[in-house]
Amino acid sequence: MSSLAIPIGNLTLRNPVLTASGCFGYGLEYDDFFDVSELGGICTKGLSLHPRHGNPPERIAETPAGMLNAIGLANVGVEAFCRDKLPTLRERGVTVVANIFASSVEDFVTITERLSAETGVAAIELNVSCPNVTHGGIEFGKDPRMAAEVTRAVRDATRLPVWVKMSPEAGDIAAVARACADAGADALTAINTIRGMSIDVEQRKVRLANRTGGFSGPALRPVALRIVWDLCGAVSIPVIAIGGVATTRDAIEFMLAGASAVQVGTANFVDPSASKRVLDGLRAYCSERGIDAKALIGAAR
Partner 1 sequence: MSSPVLAKRRLTTLPLLRRESIGGLYHVLTFEDSEGTLALPGQFVMVRGAEWGDAPLLPRPMSYLTGGNTPSILIKVIGEGTLRMGRAEPGEPFTLLGPLGLPWRSPSAGRRVVLVGGGVGIAPLLFMARSIAEAGGPKPLAIYGGRSSRDLPLDDDLEDLSELVVTTEDGTRGTKGRVTDVLAELLGPDKDVFTCGPDRMMAKVAEMCAARDVPCEASLETPMACGYGVCLGCPVPTTEGGYLYACMQGPCVDARRVDWSKADHAPRKLALSGRST
Binding interface with partner 1 (CB under 8 A) = 23-25, 29, 32-33, 45, 53-54, 56-67, 69, 71, 74, 198, 200-203, 205, 217-219, 246, 266, 268-273
CB of 54 to partner 1, least distance (A): 6
Q: Is residue 130 among the annotated active site residues? A: yes
CA gyration radius, the chain = 18
- Residue closer to partner 1 by CB (options 68, 239) is 68
Query: Which residue out of 43, 130, 232, 286 is catalytically annotated?
Result: 130
CA 103 to CA 91: how far, in whole Å?
A: 32
| Diameter of the chain measured on Cα atoms | 58
CB of 5 to partner 1, least distance (A): 27
CA 100 to CA 82: how far, in whole Å?
A: 13
- Residue closer to partner 1 by CB (options 21, 260) is 21
* Residues 67/266, Cβ–Cβ less than 8 Å: yes
Q: How far is CA 274 from CA 109, 138, 281, in A?
A: 33, 28, 11
* Residues 63/44, Cβ–Cβ less than 8 Å: no
Looking at beta carbons, which pairs linking 112-118 to residues 24 or more positions away fall under 8 Å?
112/154, 112/157, 112/158, 112/160, 113/157, 113/158, 114/78, 114/79, 114/82, 115/47, 115/78, 115/82, 115/158, 115/160, 116/157, 116/158, 116/159, 116/160, 118/82, 118/86
- Residue closer to partner 1 by CB (options 150, 194) is 194
Q: Which residues, listed in sequence order, are joined to residue 66 by a DSSP beta bridge? A: 63
CB of 100 to partner 1, least distance (A): 17
CB of 138 to partner 1, least distance (A): 19
CB of 79 to partner 1, least distance (A): 17
Active site residues: 130
